[in-house]
Structure 1
Amino acid sequence: MTETVYELFIILHLLLFVYWLGGDLGVYYSSNFVINPKLSNETRLNAAKIMLGLDLVPRICMTLMLTVGATLAEIVGLEHPTWELVGLWLLAPFWMTVVLVIHFKEGTPLSKKLAKFDYYFRWFMVAVILASIAQSVATGRLAGANWLNVKITIFAGLIFCGIMIRRHLPAFITGLHKMAAGDTMSDADNATMATGLHGARPWVWLIWAGVFTEALLGVFKPGNTFPLAF
């Protein structure tokens, strides 16, 4: 592939990092208003709409990141078996479609079924990525480019962090539904919402650290001895 194609994919890869972190920061900031009991339910619900809308951005970025990264690796000479590359190219449109349907059909039976599927699919992705890394290390497939092994392992960690975030959010979401129904929020309800959100935040911080570390690894490629094409 030409250097121009490489540069286009580099730009896309960097944009995914930027929008992932930027979207997450917006979600994090707006969530403070959602759990603020001093605000009216209407204000808190509006903040929740902003929060959930912004949350779609990092979700999309995550579904595209592995495919774009694998394509970049292929361009610079870190080749994949044909079957693996085809699977990676199919992954992005498939996973992104699932995420988009879950978001825009929220509350429907289809969305609920896909959300459950997506939860287990993420566990599957973590297992597949870690198995791939183990095979790569055992065979020396990426000898000279161990930074890429580390980068992909971190990506599996990011997916895992997202799963852990989901495990803390049911209480927060229950509170949102109660507000949306027009019910009065008790102190206990507000405390439960805040507890659920605060339980998720350490995993959010780990995602930020992981995304930032991945970006550094991609830029500096520490210890690289592989003859990269670009």
Structure 2
Amino acid sequence: MIINFHDLMAFFHVVLFVYAIGGDIAVYFIGNYITREELTIEERLRVRSMRFLVDMSARTSLVLLLPIGFTLATTFGSEIKGAALIIIWLFSIVWLGLIWMVHFKKETVIGELLRKLDLLIRYILSLLLIALGIFCLTTNSIIQSDWLSWKIIIFGLILVNGIWIRAIVGRMRKSITLAQESDTKIEGEKSIKKDQAVLNKAALLIWVLVILMAFLGELKPL
């Protein structure tokens, strides 16, 4: 049996897409338990820990979609290949390792430093991808297919959305701390509900962006 390399990459691309959006959906539903006041804070913190673990499937998939996507793009005329493509693969593998280190080292000094490094990478990478996509669209160079250029822009926007989600999660930590204290419990519970409502909107947006990427990749309308 002979397996075509492009078909193999396309298969992994689909699998990662499923894990990315599936993980986000699971995180969405798990996260809503955090707002349930009938549960103790300790129970909700356990739910939050479960959410972080499930979210790792989405984070892992998102990182791996980057090099696989650029690899598949070479079939459609992308000039990002050879050494440039190898660099993208190496960067993605190192970045993936960093993300898992952040997960395993959370709540530690080194974990916080790694988290900030990961956040910096997301800021820089999102800007680079959006700029690359716009450049390709306006100059018709590097990547000639407009649908591919739009996918790159959308991927950058997904990273921006992820940064937004991290900011919301950071606020929610403070809200949970308030809810743990008897004199600020009511204020904390209100803040948790408010933060979760915003988080749900961010989750909805990321679903829309991921589905739009899938639409462009499958139908190639541009």
TM-score by shorter chain over 0.5: yes
- Give the RMSD, CA atoms, in angstroms: 2.0
Is the 1:172–1:194 contact (alpha carbons within 8 Å) kept by the matching residues of 2? no
1:102–1:112: 8 Å Cα contact kept in structure 2?
yes
Are 1:201 and 2:200 an aligned pair? yes
Work out whether residues 71 and 81 of structure 2, in 8 Å CA contact, stay in contact via their aligned partners in 1: no
Q: Which residue of 2 aligns with 1:66?
A: 66
Q: Work out whether residues 178 and 185 of structure 2, in 8 Å CA contact, stay in contact via their aligned partners in 1.
A: no
Residues 43-64 of structure 1, C-alpha deviation per residue, up to 9 Å, x if partnerless?
3222112211111111111111
Paired position in structure 2 for 1:187: 186
3-state SS, counterpart of residue 4 of structure 2: helix
1:167-202 residue CA offsets vs partner (Å, 9 max, x unmatched): 2222312344677xx755712111112222222222
Whether the aligned pair in 2 keeps the contact of 1:20 and 1:57 (CA below 8 Å) is yes
TM-score by length of 1: 0.87
- C-alpha contact 2:176 2:189 (8 A) present in aligned 1: no
Q: Do residues 17 (structure 1) and 40 (structure 2) align?
A: no
1:89-100 equivalences under 5 Å are: 89-100=89-100
CA positional deviation for 1:42: 3.5
1:8-52 residue CA offsets vs partner (Å, 9 max, x unmatched):
111110111111111111111011111211112343222112211
Deviation string, structure 1 residues 181-226 (Cα, Å, up to 9, x no partner): x755712111112222222222211110010111111111113xxx
Q: Which residue of 2 aligns with 1:211?
A: 210
**When you count helix as a share of all residues, which structure comes out higher?**
2
Q: How many residues align?
A: 219
Offset at residue 150 of structure 1 (A) = 0.7
What is the rounded CA distance, in whole Å, between the counterparts of 2:67 and 2:175 in structure 1?
A: 36
Q: Is the 8 Å Cα contact of residues 34 and 45 (structure 1) preserved in structure 2?
A: yes
Partner SS state of residue 7, structure 1: helix
**1:175·1:193 contact (CA, 8 Å) conserved in 2?**
yes
Superposition pairs of residues 49-198 of structure 1, within 5 angstroms = 49-141=49-141, 142-143=143-144, 145-176=145-176, 186-198=185-197
CA contact (8 A) 1:13 1:69 kept: yes
Which letter maps to 2:63?
A: T
- Taking the aligned partners of 1:187 and 1:194, their CA distance within structure 2 comes to 11
- The residue type paired with residue 207 of structure 2 is W
Q: Structure 1: 5+ residue runs without aligned partners?
A: 224-230
Letter in 1 for 2:70: A
| Larger relative contact order, structure 1 or 2 (CA cutoff 8 Å, min sep 6) | 1
Instruction: Please give the alpha-carbon distance, in whole angstroms, between the structure 2 residues aligned to 1:177 and 1:121.
Output: 28
Letter in 2 for 1:213: L
Matches of 1:38 and 1:117, distance apart in 2: 37
Q: TM-score, normalised by structure 2?
A: 0.90
Deviations 1:107-140 (A, max 9, x none): 1111100111111211100111122223323431
* Identity among equivalent pairs (%): 27
For residues 176 and 200 of structure 1, what CA distance do their matches in structure 2 show? 15
Question: Mean alpha-carbon deviation: is it higher for 118-127 or for 43-52?
Answer: 43-52
Task: Provide the C-alpha distance between the structure 2 equivalents of 1:86 and 1:99, rounded to a whole number of angstroms.
Answer: 20
Sort the Cα spacing of 1:123 and 1:35 in 2 relative to 1 into closer, same or farther, 3 A: same
